[in-house]
Amino acid sequence: MRVLIADDSAFMRSYISNIVRSTIDCEVFEASDGEDAVYKYKICLPDIVLIDLNMPKKGGMEAIAEIRKMGDPKVIVVTAIDQDWARKDALKKGVSGFITKPFKPDEIRRVLLMTLAAQNMR
């Protein structure tokens, strides 16, 4: 299993990576912005993408749209944007989960495991 974590905060990428690695057996890749997320998706072809919406160079929604043109990973949004429009737009793009920062580690674990169970990927 391959997981891509895209967030412009190095601390947040590391934090989420540790949670993911403690939850499932996987290889984790990191991207520092939306443009890097699209590039890393092409190279790594992850099964799951955890992505922030507010990032430099290319926002998360735009990155999700570009990634969807290349494949069909399960996408979980992890963002500080706690707005209905963002949640609705993300759900329209077919994301598997939407987590608002700040979050507790169990929230990442729960959404990740639900996503895997729904796709029988575990």
Domains of the chain are: 2-113 (3.40.50.2300)
**Burial of 104 by CB count in 10 Å (0-12 exposed, 13-18 middle, 19+ buried)?**
exposed
Q: CA geometry: angle at 33 spanning 21 and 57, to 5°?
A: 170
Q: Report the candidate in 78, 83, 92 with the shortest Cα–Cα distance to residue 50.
A: 78
User: pTM, whole model, 2 decimals?
Assistant: 0.93
Q: Is 104 helix (H, G, I), strand (E, B) or coil?
A: coil
User: Cα dist. 8→11, 12, 109 in Å?
Assistant: 9, 8, 21
Record the tokens describing residue 36, joined without a space. 């890097």
Residues of the chain above pLDDT 70, percent: 98
Q: What is the pLDDT of residues 25-79, one digit of tens each?
A: 999 999 999 999 999 999 999 999 999 999 999 999 999 999 999 999 999 999 9
